[in-house]
Amino acid sequence: MTSTLWKTGAFGAMLIAGVADAAVAQETYTTHERPYFVVYNDHVEDKKDLEVAVLSTLGDPKNDAARYFAPWTEIEYGITDKWTAELYLEGASITRSDSAFTGWRIENRYRPFSGDHVVNPVLYVEYESISEASRIQKEIVGEGAPSPLPIRVLDEEHAHELEFRLILSSDRSKWNFSENLILEKNLSADEGVEFGYGVGASRRFRQFYAGVEVYGGLGTTVSLNEQTRHFIAPVFAWHVNGRSLFKTSIGFGVTEASERYLFRVGYSIDLW
């Protein structure tokens, strides 16, 4: 099953890369494109634009826990010029263990104000139907390290969750500064509300971006202790052409509960 996940992810990457090569390159590059993996800026798709992306996270936990690989696919569509909806399909594989399809998510981002302002707010809500085996780490909330139990055990526990974010983003010349406050509620268990954050800064160099994002959990309404995870992650992105973006980052864990690192890579293309 592990090899199946790897082959599926590789095939998806090659498929999108092939479409990208067939696409007509543009002379200009989108200045608001998101080079981050956890932090969101104010970028939303134009009306009727469709973007597809394949991404993955490779995590190396502490305490001799096995590494994990978590691929996911994003399908993003501009419903209006202010409202973007997105579907996520995700999986996970743990070294010397099992693999599984861990669930799906539907995300909505709404940018209430047109044009650029000193601060551009975006409202975000996401519904998640995922198992406890989820490892894509699209957000870090709450407290504690990921469970070391086998995938087959974790995949039996299914959760329905709501995630809310307040996204604030500012552009200064070629720089972007973004801040996210994250709240997540598990509708399947009485775990209170989990909190998290993400902040990012990046600079554009023609078709390249370089920057850093910092993210982590802030405990829950039930308990607040020191067993939270926090990461510092340099990010790099490259507009292969005017329609496609390659990005990568490595997040270094800075607390005992954090993984040693989270290595991420992603490739996206605007189909129309």
CB of 218 closer than 8 Å to CB of 199: no
User: What confidence tens digit (pLDDT) does each residue in 229-272 have?
Assistant: 999 999 999 999 889 999 999 999 999 999 999 999 999 999 98
Per the structure, the count of domains in the chain is 1
DSSP string, 185-238: EETTS---EEEEEEEEEEEEETTEEEEEEEEEEEEESS---S---EEEEEEEEE
Region 88-92 average pLDDT: 97
User: What confidence tens digit (pLDDT) does each residue in 188-221 have?
Assistant: 888 899 999 999 999 999 999 999 999 999 999 9
- Whether the predicted pLDDT of 98 surpasses 90: no
Residue tagged 């569509």 (tokens):
77
Question: Residue 222 sits in which domain range?
Answer: 2-270
Q: Which H/E stretch holds residue 12? A: helix 2-22
Hey, is 156 helix, strand or coil? coil
> What are the φ and ψ backbone dihedral angles of 84, each rounded to 5 degrees?
-120, 135
What CATH number corresponds to the domain at position 53? 2.40.160.40
pTM of the full structure: 0.87
Q: How confident is the model at residue 84 (pLDDT cuts 50, 70, 90)?
A: very high
Cα–Cα distance between 203 and 171 in angstroms, integer?
10
* Exposed/middle/buried for residue 195 (C-beta within 10 Å: 0-12, 13-18, 19+): buried
Q: Mean pLDDT, the chain, as a whole number? A: 88
- Of the chain, the percentage scoring pLDDT greater than 70 comes to 87
